[in-house]
């Protein structure tokens, strides 16, 4: 699955918005995969080929979709992810238009920040 990693969160967000049921086996596999590539600092990369650094985009999207799939926000890995986000300036600084659109679709991003 070495790829542009942000495609995975887009699929999960689309499933969530359309009300599609995510089979439990898929949810478990997606969570396992997400944590298998989570960086030591708690964040996620945008791409998964080779050793990739944590990116704000990858971390915001994965944190959001793990929440959408019902993963416990108080789990140690999610706490590490939040610390990573805060260390990068938080999701408010999240500047990629492509990804802002995804968080806007979930009503997590204010339209005035999309300018």
pLDDT at 91: 64
Using one digit for the tens of pLDDT, what is the confidence trace for 85-115? 888 876 666 555 555 556 656 656 554 543 3
pLDDT at 115: 34
Backbone angles phi, psi at 47, to 5 degrees: -120, 155
In a domain, 1, yes or no: no
pLDDT at 31: 93
pLDDT band at 72 (very low <50, low <70, confident <90, very high): very high
Q: How far apart are CA 101 and CA 75, in angstroms?
A: 27
In a domain, 84, yes or no: yes
In a domain, 49, yes or no: yes
Structure tokens at 20: 């599609």
pLDDT band at 46 (very low <50, low <70, confident <90, very high): confident
Number of domains in the chain: 1
Using one digit for the tens of pLDDT, what is the confidence trace for 1-39? 456 677 888 888 888 889 998 889 999 999 999 999 999
In a domain, 110, yes or no: yes
CB 34 within 8 A of CB 66: yes
pLDDT at 1: 44
CB 27 within 8 A of CB 66: no
Q: What is the CATH number of the domain that holds 20?
A: 1.50.10.20
Using one digit for the tens of pLDDT, what is the confidence trace for 61-71? 898 889 889 99
Q: Domain range for residue 62?
A: 7-114
Coil, helix or strand for 47? strand
In a domain, 103, yes or no: yes
């Amino acid at each position: 699955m070495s790829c542009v990693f942000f495609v995975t969160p887009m699929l999960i967000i689309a499933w969530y918005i359309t009300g599609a049921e995510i089979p439990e086996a898929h949810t478990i596999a997606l969570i396992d995969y997400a944590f298998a590539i989570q960086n030591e600092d708690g964040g996620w990369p945008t791409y998964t080929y080779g050793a990739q650094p944590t990116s704000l985009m990858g971390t915001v999207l994965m944190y959001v979709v793990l929440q959408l799939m019902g993963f416990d926000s108080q789990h140690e890995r999610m706490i590490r992810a939040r610390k990573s986000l805060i260390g990068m300036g938080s999701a408010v600084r999240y500047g990629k238009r492509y990804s802002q659109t995804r968080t806007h679709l979930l009503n997590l991003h204010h339209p005035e920040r999309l300018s």
